[in-house]
Amino acid sequence: MWEACTICHLVLCSALWGLTLYPLLPQAKLKSFSAKIVQLLKEWTEAFPYDFQDEKAMAELKAITHRVTQCDEENGTVKKAIAQMTQSLLLSLAARSQLQELREKLRPPAVDKGPILKTKPPAAQKDILGVCCDPLVLAQQLTHIELDRVSSIYPEDLMQIVSHMDSLDNHRCRGDLTKTYSLEAYDNWFNCLSMLVATEVCRVVKKKHRTRMLEFFIDVARECFNIGNFNSMMAIISGMNLSPVARLKKTWSKVKTAKFDVLEHHMDPSSNFCNYRTALQGATQRSQMANSSREKIVIPVFNLFVKDIYFLHKIHTNHLPNGHINFKKFWEISRQIHEFMTWTQVECPFEKDKKIQSYLLTAPIYSEEALFVASFESEGPENHMEKDSWKTLRTTLLNRA
């Protein structure tokens, strides 16, 4: 199952081999066999178009369809079905390629340097509070983005990342077996959101305003939790736990952290994220009983979901001691992927705010170095290690300017 490219190749080759025997088959059986092959390919290309982005798989698909038309040359219905299937597949692959190009243009690169001298930012410089000061509204817009990104993930994407992570995988039909674009884009979104949170906090000059910014993001994370958007919630918490933000002790001392403590409790990694899994189970049950799209929303922490699938694959063998296929393992993997795909199909019930989404997707974010510089400018280094880091960073960024 997980050597997806190899399986794709074997199935196509098997079908091609079967079609080479067509002169030996009675005409009635030949037509029946050809029709079944066309139906199989139609369902396959619709459900897993990404399997055919590889040139080898596409060449084998063309060879099979050519043989099918040879087997039943007089049947115009078969030719029409093959033409429609091929066109739909090419359109699907083209749509993914266009989506990739579009999203690559949206997020500007990280800012290489923060403010070197402690100066007040221009009054016209926007921050997130100038765009949206309502935590619930921002959480809803984050949910819009999450559902948009996650809807581009397909089952074969999940199979591909597990195959990529499997160190025992020696069957590579793609050159590098990297993550699919949809998965990489979703990973990048999580990281960008975390860095955006850290940037918004660290670039604020006044401690009072930084305190307000932290409390705002805590409220946003809590609203994400209430919605069922656990991925954005985790990204926000991760951003506030980054070292440049976490070290701002004077700022944190002014923050009412009770709500933040509750959020961290939900995302406590101990006992394999037991608290989070309990909350996720509750959200799943709510989704199953839901009467509205609002109650159906479940967006899991994606990295944890992928790790669960991966370890399920690694811990259990593909075959039982008697040599039979371990259907229980594959059934459980299939069940979890099916559940995830059900969540991705939920229509977002919240009104879309283009201004807020544009800010979330395109606002400049600081690099890790720039975050530390901004953090040290807000609250100076407190020990020898921080002083050395601060000195090195200033020198590096000034030389780069």
DSSP 56-87: HHHHHHHHHHHHHHHHTTT-HHHHHHHHHHHH
* 209-237: average pLDDT: 98
Same domain, 363 and 395: yes
Q: Look at residue 102 and tell me if it is in a domain.
A: no
pLDDT, one tens digit per residue, over 30-69 is 677 777 888 888 888 887 787 787 777 788 888 888 877 7
Average pLDDT value for residue range 221-234: 98
Q: What is this structure's pTM?
A: 0.77
Whether residue 310 is found in the same domain as residue 270: yes
Between residues 71 and 99, which one has the greater pLDDT? Answer: 71
State whether 88 and 119 are in the same domain.
no
Q: Is residue 121 domain-resident?
A: yes
Q: What is the pLDDT of residue 10?
A: 45
Mean predicted lDDT score pLDDT of the chain: 82
Whether residues 127 and 269 share a domain: the answer is: yes
Reading the block at residue 219, the tokens are 């409220």
The rounded distance, in Å, linking the Cα atoms of 196 and 189 is: 10
Q: How many domains does the chain have?
A: 2
Are 373 and 303 in a shared domain? yes
187: Cβ–Cβ under 8 A, 6 or more apart, which residues? Answer: 179, 302, 303
Above 90 in pLDDT, residue 76?
A: no
Kindly state whether residue 98 falls inside one of the protein's structural domains.
no
Q: Which domain holds residue 322?
A: 111-400
Provide the pLDDT for residue 207: 94
Helix (H, G, I), strand (E, B) or coil at 111: strand
pLDDT of residue 171: 42
